[in-house]
Amino acid sequence: MAAKEDLYAKVTPRRQRQNRPSTVKHGSTLDVLLSMGFPKTRALKALVSTGGKNVQAACDWLFSHVDDPFLDDPLPREYVLYLRPSGPLLQQLSHFWQQSRLSCGKNKAHNIFPHITLCQFFMCPDGKVEALSEALQSTAAKWKGRIPMPLPLELYISSSFIGLFVEEQVAEVLKHFAADFATEAAAKADAHVEPHKKQLHVTLAYHFQASHLAALEKLAKNIQVSLACDWLAVLFSRDIRFANHETLQVMYPYVPQNDDELELLTGDFIFMSPVEQSTASEGWVYGTSLGTGLSGLLPENYVSRADESDTWVVHGSHSILNYSPSSCPSNTVGGLLFDGELNNSLLDSLMDPSTLSGLCPPMQALRPAGQASLSKMRLFVCRHGERMDVVFGKHWIAQCFDSKGRYFRSNLNMPTSLPPRSGGHRDYDKDCPITVFGSTQARLVGEALLESHTAVDFIYCSPSLRCVQTAQNILQGLQQDGKTKIRVEPGLFEWTKWVSGTSLPTWITPADLAAANLSVDTTYRPHIPVSKLTVSESYETYISRSFQVTREILTECKNMGNTILIVAHASSLEACTRQIQGLSPQNSKDFVQVVRKIPYLGFCACEEMGETGVWHLVDPPILPLTHGPNHSFNWREMLIQD
């Protein structure tokens, strides 16, 4: 215990200490990092901090933390084991989360996603984390299919707490699962894990205002706890130094003006402790960057509140469900009738592996012989790549076209050529192309999809040139260029209120795009033609349009292919996926806040829940893509000395 207390003693405010995430085997990854010359302690810290993804992610972390004053700090991370819902039940809980936040504001439950806590936070040395992940994997494999589904949950409401409690005897089954993990963790990783001894539950709300109780109670009673759900045993970690800090997310980039200020990159997270704010002037806060480990002052209006769990790392995620939810009635446990109570003999049988053959059989055993497994329909939505007018300003056209309308580039990040336009080059003013970097970004996404063995059956895109070019480059990275045709769908264009002037862009026609060697389907008939779009449409009209066209695309492709890719705008990631999950649209203010956080090539994925027509968000098959600022370099100004 003395050693542990010494480690905890190191958790002090950052300013006082300085003068001014699926399970992945990373043994070979560690060897690569060591061969590159990184010290073992740093290499392990990088792997653990990135969830052991790959060499590139670890290298990026190491390079971004090169000036972190605590890069060699021996303090390990904290770990916790949660049971997370998925499927229709998760959609119900997510809807409760969002509606309660909108109507009653944020309460303490919002800091972490819906979950059941299986163990307390514990520490594990960086060198043992791979073994810890293996401990969870082996435990989940041992218990798969032995835990009663659906979990019997009962709503509990008091003046200060609302939650869903697991029926006592089923909770005992989960506690045995947690105890087995604790045993495995001790044997494999020398980790001391304390299984959760209190009543197992999903917290819905706590630390809320008394005046909000009635509204929260009404929302909670609408949750259908008997819905089908796969529960995932997920191992998370967090940086223990920031356990009691407030988490903020950077909304806008900021370049420091003074030595004690912190550089901000959009999307990064900042950890802020109240004890560190004593010397910060009004409008400023003092915090530490997740991305770099550096601390400093930053303008308060450049960040927004985030949830604590947004910065956590996943080290393993395993399903504990092993049968078809539709194959057993909702009042059965493993195929046996369940009347609200489990008797001891049934509980004992669930603990005994020898009785598993008598339980509800695995999903694949229920199919007729020779029948292949039906793949789920998937929808990917992706934002376009870096655009010319954002990088080079609104006057790029004047810089790149001569008096006769001939294009020439003045920077390497400008494309070597542009497709001709029947209305002349001025049409580029409202319909700009992507940059060379934008093309590269898109090809990277396509290559990542190819590496993940993901093929795209249909690809739809907004009529904006930047979206068509992005889709083309994704297809090139996928090696599907020429094989899969791009369907240009005007209904996928962004909210027309954001278009300047009194008219919509004049887009290049599919025929002219095809003539410019873009792989466009010239026979495709749009669901919403250009003539149906109006200038300055209302937010409700845009959301309705996006939902309509997404539903019609899904219907059009059903039974013809499993994977659909939509390439459109930042707003499309929200507008095209929210309502197909059965969720109500956000208000326009919150919608704008979400959209502002989505970077170029932002990518999300949805899956259909069986044949229900209801979809839910899932992890994309590719890693995220992060890009940083790159200012123009003029050698004359920088290198010629007076």
What SS3 class is residue 583? Answer: coil
Q: Catalytic: which of 383, 387, 466, 527?
A: 383
In whole angstroms, what is the distance from residue 439 CA to residue 36 CA?
A: 30
Q: Please say whether the beta carbons of 339 and 149 come within 8 A.
A: no
**Which of 302, 263, 266, 306 has its CA nearest to residue 284?**
302
**Helices 40-49 & 55-64 angle (0-180, nearest 10):** 110
Alpha carbons 14 and 328: distance in angstroms, whole number: 54
Catalytically annotated residue among 115, 201, 318, 384:
384
Bridge partners (DSSP) listed for residue 237: 79, 313
Catalytic-residue membership of 527: no
The rounded radius of gyration (Å) of the Cα atoms in the chain is 27
User: Given CA atoms 249, 253, 254, 260 in this order, what sign does their dihedral have?
Assistant: positive
List strands edge to edge, sheet with 246-250: 295-299, 284-289, 269-272, 246-250, 303-305
Looking at 15, 77, 569, 578, which residue is catalytic? Answer: 569
- CA separation, residue 438 to residues 42, 414, 431, 495, 547 (Å): 33, 10, 15, 22, 27
- Strand duo 458-461 + 486-488: pairing: parallel
Within 10 A of 482 (CB to CB), how many other CB atoms are there?
A: 10
For residues 389 and 435, what is the distance between their CA atoms, to the nearest angstrom?
A: 9
- Which uninterrupted H or E stretch holds 542? helix 539-557
Residues 6+ apart with CB under 8 A from 33: 43, 46, 47, 55, 58, 59, 62
384 is catalytic: yes
245: annotated active-site residue: no
| DSSP structural state of residue 431 | S
Q: Which amino acid is at 277?
A: Q
Q: How far is CA 288 from CA 207, 269, 273, 576, 614, in A?
A: 27, 8, 9, 35, 40
Catalytic residue IDs: 383-384, 569
